[in-house]
Amino acid sequence: MFRPNALKKRLLSGKRALGCWTVLGSPPVIELLAYCGFDYLLLDQEHGFGEPSALLHSLQAMAATPNCTSVVRVPSNDPNYLKRVLDAGVEGVMVPNVETADEARAVVAACRYPPAGRRGSALGSARASDYGIHSLDYKQKSSGELLIVVQIESPKAIDNIDAIAAVDGIDVLFIGPHDLSGTVGQLGDLKHPEVARLIARAEEGIRRSGKPMGTVPHPGATWREMFQRGYHMINAGSDVGRLRDAALAEVKEFRSVHP
């Protein structure tokens, strides 16, 4: 059912938002995490399992939790892929590795109906419009309710950050620190001086724009510390990490007593 975007409202009011990655694409796991009270779940289709047609059951699993917003990370800045996840009824999209204002404008255009954009219309049948039942309402309100997040993951993107942030329709700039570190040959080493300088430049540029800033907790830092650094949207952990780490800790404890 088409509904107000609780995450977008929260971010635009200046509040912080805590979310969780979901990589496994498992509807019961997604349902459980949504019930836990996160502001949003990031349904990852760049590195996670699943593709547009698999979204249906994940979104249905979140339908009973109106305060937990669905955000899908698509594999790339592909208008056809974006069109499919939008028609499925996602409430937010995250696009990786956006490096220029033109690329950011292309993201927005893919998410908006003409004349504001170039999104193809399936208003009469798409799940997003409640299978056409509320097509007029969806057509009128979808652009305003959709949250659009672009990832800043390269030095080129940081050089263009002012222009990217100025694009109408871009709601959040999300720093991808690990891929950013990889672009300068220091994959995963976020404390390397060159990587730290790039992250600081990205943070400064996003703060200058006045738009919400997102990221993941850096190694050795908690989500609390990241919010204190000025971030607004933090993906704290993942379905894989929560399952893996709890299981490993329990097995380790057991083996220490019963080798």
Active site members = 47
> Cis ω on the peptide bond leading into residue 66 (within 30° of 0)?
no
Please name every residue paired with 148 in a beta bridge, in sequence order, or none if there are none. 93
User: Strands (DSSP E) along 96-238, which ranges?
Assistant: 147-152, 172-175, 213-215, 233-238
Tokens of 253: 């404890």
- 258: amino acid identity, one letter: H
Those residues whose C-beta lies under 8 Å from the C-beta of residue 91, and which sit 6 or more positions away, are: 3, 5, 7, 8, 69, 70, 71, 145, 146, 147
Q: Are 164 and 170 in contact (CB under 8 A)?
A: yes
Residue type for position 116: A
Contacts of 256 (CB under 8 A, 6+ apart): none
Cα 7 to Cα 56, 106, 173, 258: the distances in Å are 20, 23, 14, 46
223 within 8 A of 217, measured Cβ to Cβ: yes
Residue 232 is given by DSSP the state: S
How many whole angstroms separate alpha carbon 234 and alpha carbon 207? 15
Classified as helix, coil or strand, 174 is: strand
Coil/strand/helix, residue 171 = coil
